[in-house]
Amino acid sequence: MLKIIETPRDGIQGLRQFIQTKKKVDYINALLRVGFDTLEVGSFVSSKAIPQLKDTDTVLRKIDLSDSHTKVMVLVGNTDGVQEAVKFDAIDHISFPFSISETFLIKNIRKNLNESFDMIKKMMDLSLQAGKEMIIYISMGFGNPYGDPWNYDLLERWVKKLFDIGLRIIPVSDITGESNPQQISEVYGRLIKDFPKVEFGFHLHATSNDWYAKTDAAYKAGCRRFDTVVGGLGGCPMTGKEMLSNLDTFDLLHYFEEKEIPFFIDKEKLYQAARIANEIKQYE
């Protein structure tokens, strides 16, 4: 089943000027009517690291979930973030940016691979006790710009460790443009075969020249879960590298229309949300 995960959190987090809470709430409410499978509305991380999302708790209290079947997700950076997230009935999923690149983990959450995995187990316990589902992203899942080891066997080993502790949704991320279509095809082809009970997603930051080929490779290899941001806004400010745009929601829908792949998105309501996105984009 095709799933589109809209991630305004990823789009907003790197903006220089603070977006007023009411504007965020209006935007989230508009996106909740579009028909996305899941909407990542914010994060519980250090406000010093990501000041743009320091009002996530207020946003969650103000969003309107009536007449929406979209699941709500937030990102966390540690167990403290999970403890904050589980207080909100509105939240269905809690995501965490793991990585097989130790350099990125240290840059992002100041922990090495083993420390991060131990923390994931604690976060899993807290989430399960509260009836929330944990989603672990594998950032730098197709390689990294730091010279850290990467190969499929290493990726598979860490996916198995995550699977063994109960993870069933594991998106693979390219946030610095390291992937290529052949590699994407191989990774998803093998992961989907080796772990048939796992839902693998694709979180892509890309240029206007290469998003299509990479998306096409992921879909043809069997991936059916795609993260997007309206207008391609944002990027990861924690890589130490130039930020690349997120996969644009409209680009992905264009791809599906071209390939005659059915999707369950209300495009009229998406255009309404996009008008607010254009206002937010002015704060870049």
Res 240: pLDDT: 41
> What is the longest distance spanned by two Cα atoms in the chain?
48
Average pLDDT value for residue range 62-67:
96
> Does the pLDDT of residue 284 top 80, yes or no?
no
Q: What is the mean pLDDT of the chain?
A: 94
Percent of the chain with pLDDT over 70: 96
Q: Hey, what are 41's tokens?
A: 């509305």
Residue 223, beta-bridge partner list = none
Res 233: pLDDT: 87
Distance CA(211)–CA(253), nearest Å, equals: 13
- What pTM, to 2 d.p., does this model score? 0.95
Residue spans of the domains in the chain: they are 3-281
Dump pLDDT digits (tens) for 156-171.
Answer: 999 999 999 999 999 9
Res 282: pLDDT: 77
> Does the pLDDT of residue 155 top 90, yes or no?
yes
Superfamily of domain 3-281: Aldolase class I (3.20.20.70)
Looking at 49-53, 211-215, 249-253, which range is the least confident one?
49-53
Res 239: pLDDT: 43
Average pLDDT value for residue range 21-25:
97
Residue 185 pLDDT class (50, 70, 90 cuts) = very high
Please give the torsion angle defined by the CA atoms of residues 240, 104, 4 and 123, in that order, rounded to the nearest 10 degrees: -130
Strands 38-44 and 71-76 come out as parallel
Residue 16 pLDDT class (50, 70, 90 cuts) = confident
Residue 14 pLDDT class (50, 70, 90 cuts) = confident
CA distances from 108 to 40, 212, 281 (A): 19, 28, 24
> Does the pLDDT of residue 192 top 70, yes or no?
yes
Res 241: pLDDT: 41
Those residues whose C-beta lies under 8 Å from the C-beta of residue 201, and which sit 6 or more positions away, are: 3, 5, 137, 169, 170, 171, 172, 223, 225, 226, 227
Angle at 116 between CA 110 and CA 118, to 5 degrees: 140
Highest mean pLDDT among 125-129, 206-210, 236-240: 125-129
Dump pLDDT digits (tens) for 216-269.
Answer: 999 999 999 999 999 998 765 544 444 578 999 999 999 999 999 999 999 999
> Does the pLDDT of residue 111 top 80, yes or no?
yes
Percent of the chain with pLDDT over 90: 87
Distance CA(189)–CA(34), nearest Å, equals: 30
